[in-house]
């Protein structure tokens, strides 16, 4: 069964294949035809690619440079992270655990959405200002609790107080929205009578 490979290689003579007649001249003719005609499609695709790169660059620059031009309706949004003098040593509720970060993010996003959707006019300005004053007091209390969290360390009472503060602010904004709806409904009823 076994064959000696050395003997097989000594007896091996490679087969030579012959090309068809005129193969070499046809090949040379095709090469010359390709050299004579420059590939203009390649230049077209390079131009298109350059234009796409320029457009993406301009769009990226415009997006990031003009991003600061968001309209403000006079109501300040709640900061997601309270920045203190020593950022490296301070941490927030979201830095303790991913679950607490989700909770903090949920409430701050809800607060910001509610603040952004408020429509302040001359009729409801006094009511909104009262609620905004209470919200600013709660925000100051939140900062104090966050400072306590940094100084004392995380404990259940401080974490619960921080979450309750966020929850209370969101509930306060929902109450404000309901009061504004009632006020608007009451004004509409007064005009129809």
pLDDT (tens digit, 9 = 90+) per residue, 55-69?
888 888 777 777 654
* pLDDT 10s digits, 171-183: 888 888 888 888 8
Could you tell me how far CA 136 lies from the centroid of its own chain?
28
* pLDDT given at position 82: 46
Q: How far apart, in whole angstroms, are the C-alpha atoms of residue 71 and residue 116?
A: 10
Angle between helical axes of 125-152 and 156-192 (0-180°, round to 10): 170
Q: Are 120 and 73 in contact (CB under 8 A)?
A: yes
Please state the domain extents for the chain: 24-66, 93-192
Cβ-Cβ contacts under 8 Å for 173 (sequence gap 6 or more): 110, 111, 114, 115, 131, 135
Q: Which tokens sit at 73?
A: 């309706």
* pLDDT 10s digits, 89-138: 566 777 788 888 888 888 888 888 888 887 778 777 888 888 888 888 98
Q: Is the pTM of this model over 0.85?
A: no
Q: Which tokens sit at 72?
A: 């403000």
């Amino acid at each position: 069964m076994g064959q000696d490979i050395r003997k097989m290689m000594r007896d091996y003579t490679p087969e030579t294949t012959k090309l068809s007649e005129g193969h070499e001249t046809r090949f040379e003719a095709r090469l010359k035809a390709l050299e004579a005609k420059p590939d203009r499609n390649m230049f077209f695709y390079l131009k298109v690619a350059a234009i796409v790169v320029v457009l993406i660059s301009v769009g990226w620059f415009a997006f990031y440079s003009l991003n600061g031009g968001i309209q403000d309706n006079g109501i300040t949004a709640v900061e997601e992270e309270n920045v203190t003098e020593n950022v490296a040593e301070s941490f927030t509720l979201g830095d303790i655990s991913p679950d607490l970060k989700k909770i903090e993010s949920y409430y701050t996003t809800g607060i910001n959405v509610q603040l952004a959707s408020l429509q302040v006019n001359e009729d409801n300005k006094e009511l909104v200002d009262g609620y905004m004053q209470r919200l600013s007091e709660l925000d100051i209390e939140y900062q104090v609790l966050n400072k306590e969290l940094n100084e004392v360390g995380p404990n259940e009472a401080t974490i619960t107080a921080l979450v309750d503060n966020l929850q209370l602010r969101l509930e306060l904004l929902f109450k404000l929205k309901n009061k504004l709806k009632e006020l608007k409904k009451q004004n509409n009823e007064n005009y129809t009578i």
